[in-house]
Structure 1
Amino acid sequence: MIENPTPPGDEPRLAAVYGPDRPGLPRGRSSLPASVVREEQRRRLRGAVIAAVAEAGYAHTTVAMVVQRARVSRKAFYDHFAGVEDCFLSAMAEAQEAIVAEVMAPPRDAGRPSSSRELLRAALGAYLGLCAREPEYARCILVELPAVGPRALRGRLKGYGLVADVLRGWREHAARKHPEWPPAPEHAFTAAVGAVAELILVHVSAGRADELPALRDPLTEILLRIMDAPLPA
C-alpha cells in the first residue's frame, strides 16, 4: 500500500524513471482516492515518456517502454492517453508551462534583482540551470519534438511564444526607465528565443548540458543586443 506516492523532499524530475526501489501504484482497492491515483499515473507517464524519448528517440519509443519506466499498467496508459504522441505532447506542454513559471519566479538564493540587467540575467540563469538539470527535456524539445508532426510543431511554437512574451515584458519594463530607447521590432523577441535555443541545442547534442550555466553572462549580452536594450554592465 502506498500512502504517499510522491514522498516529501523527493520531487520528481521532468524526466522520471521509477526503478525497483520505487514501488508501483496499488492495484485494485486501496486507501488512496481514485483522483490521487489517476494524477500520480499521469505524472509518472509524462515523466517516463520524456525519459524514454530522450534515450531512444521519438520514432523508436513504444507504449511498452513508457509503462515499464512509469511502473503503471498498459491499461492505465490508455486510460489517460491515445498513444505515445498524445502522451509525449501532453508531457512537453506541461513541462513548458513549468519552466516558464520557474523562469518567472524570484531567485531562491537572493533578494529580487536590483536592476533590469540583473533581472534578465537571473531569469536566463534559471532557465540554463534547469536545462542543465533536465538534459532529457532539452533534448526532447530541441531535437525530438520537431520530428513528431504538425501538432508538435504548434506546441513548440507555443512554448517559444511564451518565452518571447517573457522577454517582451522584460524589455517593456526596462524601457520605461530608458525613454531614449527606440521600440524593439517584434521579430527581435523571436530571434532572442532562437539564439538561446540554438546554443542550448549545441551543448545538449554534444552531451555537455552541464556546461549550460556558464553561458549565462555571454547569453545575457547577446539578448541585450538582439532586443536593442543597451544597459550598462
Structure 2
Amino acid sequence: MHPVSTTTPDDGGGFRQRLLDGLAASIAEHGYRNTTVAGIVRHARTSRRTFYEHFADKEAAFVALITETNAELIRWISAAVDPHAPWEHQVRQAIETWIERAEAAPAITLSWIRDVPALGEASRALQRDVLEAFVTMVQTLCDTEEWRALGVVPVPRPLVIMLLGGLRELIATVVEDGGRASDMTELAVRASIALLGLHLAVATR
C-alpha cells in the first residue's frame, strides 16, 4: 500500500521514493521502532548522505510515508466508489477497497495506527491532517445526487470520525492478533451501513 514511484531512479524524486520504499520494507521486516536509518538506506540501496538530503531523521521520513500512503489510499477508495450506485453499495465499495489495501501492506497499516501516536508533537499534526483528509473524502463521496436525495448531505463530521475510528481500530486489532483484515470485511460493511442507516432514519423523521 506504500506509494508507487512516478519518477525515474536517477532524479531527486526517485531517490526520495526509494527511501520511502526502503522505510516501508524495513517496517515490514522489523517494525517502525526497530527500524534505523542504516536499515532504510540498505533497503533503498543508497547512502546515509542521500537520506539526510531528503529527510531530517527517521521520524520525518515516517511522517512522509504515512502522509503519502494515506493520500494513495484515499485515491483508491474514491476511484472505487460508483457515485450512481445505491448508497449501501457505495459503502461496501469503499470499505472493501480500504480493507483490501490495508491487507496488502499490514505492517504499514498497523504502524500508521499504533506508531504514529508515539511521535509526539509531529504526531498531532499528522493525525489531524490524515483525519481531515479522510473526513473530506467521505463527505465528498456522499455529496452526490443519490445521497442528496436522501436528505442527509452533508454527513456530519462527528459521525464520520466515529466511523473512521471504529474501522481503524478493528483493522489494527485483527492484524495485531495475527488475523487477516479481510476476515472482518463483511462485519465492517454491515456495521458501517447500520451506522449510516441510523443517521438516515433520524435525519428523515
TM range (shorter): 0.7 to 0.9
Which segment is superposed worse, 36-45 or 130-139?
A: 36-45
Is 217-226 or 192-201 further displaced after alignment? 217-226
1:106 is aligned to 80
Q: Distance in 2 between matches of 1:60 and 1:120?
A: 37
Q: Which SS does the other structure have where 1:105 is aligned?
A: helix
Residue identity in the other structure for 1:14: H
Counterpart-to-counterpart distance in 1, 2:38 and 2:158: 42
Q: Which residue of 2 aligns with 1:73?
A: 47
Rounded to whole Å, the distance in 2 between the matches of 1:95 and 1:159 is 10
Percent of aligned positions that are identical: 21
Q: Does 1:159 align with 2:134?
A: no
- 1:162-181 to 2 correspondence within 5 Å? 162-173=133-144, 174-179=146-151
Bigger CA drift: 51-60 or 133-142?
A: 51-60
Correspondences of 1:93-172 after superposition (within 5 Å): 93-106=67-80, 114-172=85-143
Number of residue pairs aligned between Structure 1 and Structure 2: 196
Q: Which residue does the alignment assign to 2:23?
A: 49
TM-score, length of structure 1 as denominator length: 0.74
1:229 positional shift: 3.5
1:194 aligns with 2:165: yes
Partner Cα distance (1:15, 1:135) in 2: 14
- Pair 91,221 (structure 1): closer, same or farther in 2 beyond 3 Å: same
Which protein shows a greater Rg?
A: 1
8 Å contact from structure 2 (residues 113, 168) kept in 1? yes
> Of residues 184, 188, 197 in structure 2, which corresponds to 1:215?
184
Residues 163-212 of structure 1: per-residue CA shift (max 9 Å, x gap):
22222233443442223x5975431110000010010011111222xx32
Q: Which has the higher helix share?
A: 2
**In 2, distance between residues paired with 1:103 and 1:167?**
10
Q: Distance in 2 between matches of 1:40 and 1:176?
A: 43
Please list the CA deviations of residues 21-77 of structure 1 after superposition, one character each: whole Å capped at 9, or x if unmatched.
Answer: xxxxxxxxxxxx8x8432221111112212323443433322111111111111111
Q: What is the rounded CA distance, in whole Å, between the counterparts of 1:133 and 1:83 in structure 2?
A: 26
Q: Distance in 1 between matches of 2:99 and 2:42?
A: 30
Structure 2 residue matching 1:14: 3-state secondary structure: coil
Q: Structure 2: how far apart are the matches of 1:218 and 1:116?
A: 17
Task: Look up the equivalent residue of 2:92 and give its one-letter code.
Answer: R
Taking structure 1 as reference, are residues 119 and 65 closer, same or farther at Cα in structure 2, changes over 3 Å only? same
Q: CA deviation at 1:121?
A: 0.7
Q: Secondary structure at the match of 2:178?
A: coil
State whether structure 2 residue 39 is matched by structure 1 residue 39: no
**Structure 1 pair 170–62 and aligned structure 2 pair: CA distance change class (3 A):** same
